Each structure stands twice: as C-alpha cells, then as structure tokens.
Copies of this chain bind each other. A is one copy, B any other.
Amino acid sequence: MEKYQQFWCFRLGAITRKISREYNTRFLEFGITLGQSFVLFDLLEHDGAGIKDIAGRVQLDSPAVTGLVDRLSRQGLVERIDDPSDRRSVKILLTEKGKELAGRLLPIAQEYNSCIKDAIDSLDVPIFERSLTQLEQNL
C-alpha cells in the first residue's frame, strides 16, 4: 500500500467522486447533475435568494454558483430576476418546472443517502457523523 493512499484527503476524494458518479447516474434521466441538484434543493427553502447566499450555503464560490444557475436556467428550471432593492444583486427563482423537479429529486437523493449509510456498521454511523462535524468545524 502506497503512502499517499492512506492520506485522508486522497481517500475522501476518491469516495466523494464515486458517490457523485452514482448520483449523477441516477439523475441522468432528469438532465441534472449532483451540484445542480443542491442549488435546486436550496431554492426549495430559499426561493429568491441571491448568488452569494446560495454560495454560502452550498459551500462554493460565487463563480461556481453562477455557472450552476446558468445551466439550470438554460433548462428553464430557475429564473434570474433583478433585485429591486439592490441593483447589483439578482434573485434566483424556481420556475414551476424547477419546483416540480426539485420535489421529485429530493426523495431519490435521500434514498441513496441511506444506501451510503448502510455501507458502514450501523453502530459506527453516529461516530462517523460526529467526526464529519468536527472536520467541518476544526479545519
């Protein structure tokens, strides 16, 4: 076993890519990718949010969200409208089609998330989740 293969960063990256690939496969028939779905899910609870707010919650930089919103809007799932209270800003709104799709994708994502949890000992799940929280907080 090579040294670098024990780096958490390497292992986390490989696992994340594998999971993302599976999500993307499941979402393929809807024409959506995993990253795009997070924006849709976010808008379900924050319809009309600006780019920066979305970026903060999905933990991406603004330019990345700009790109995701571009692709979603090209599919008629979201709309950009000017923010009347701040002309620099933009409000992202779910269209009917987008709202409907987001509602359809959410249970699919939740179901696969359960599958992932099943991959490890059920007794270890709370500890694993606690570790994730600590990584989020302490890095």
Contact = CB atoms under 8 A, between A and B. Distances in A.
Interface of A: 2-20, 22-23, 34, 37-38, 41-42, 45, 57-59, 106, 109-110, 113, 116-121, 124, 127-128, 130-132, 134-139
A4 B136 contact: no
Nearest to A35: B13
Q: Quick one: copies of this chain in the complex?
A: 2
A119 B132 contact: no
Tell me what chain A mostly uses at the interface: helix, strand, loop, or mixed. helix
A15 B139 contact: yes
B116 A14 contact: no
Which 8 A-B pairs rank lowest in CB-CB distance, beginning with the nearest? A119-B138, A4-B41, A14-B59, A120-B134, A128-B131, A120-B131, A12-B16, A9-B19
Given A12-B12, A119-B135, A135-B120, A106 B18 contact: no
A18 B12 CA distance: 11
B127 A124 contact: yes
B19 A16 contact: no
Contacts of A20: 9, 13
A13 B60 CA distance: 10
Given A59-B14, A132-B12, A7 B109 contact: yes
Given A4-B109, A124-B127, 20 more contacts: A2-B41, A2-B42, A3-B41, A4-B38, A4-B106, A9-B20, A9-B113, A10-B38, A10-B58, A11-B132, A11-B136, A12-B132, A13-B20, A15-B135, A15-B139, A116-B139, A120-B138, A127-B128, A127-B131, A128-B131
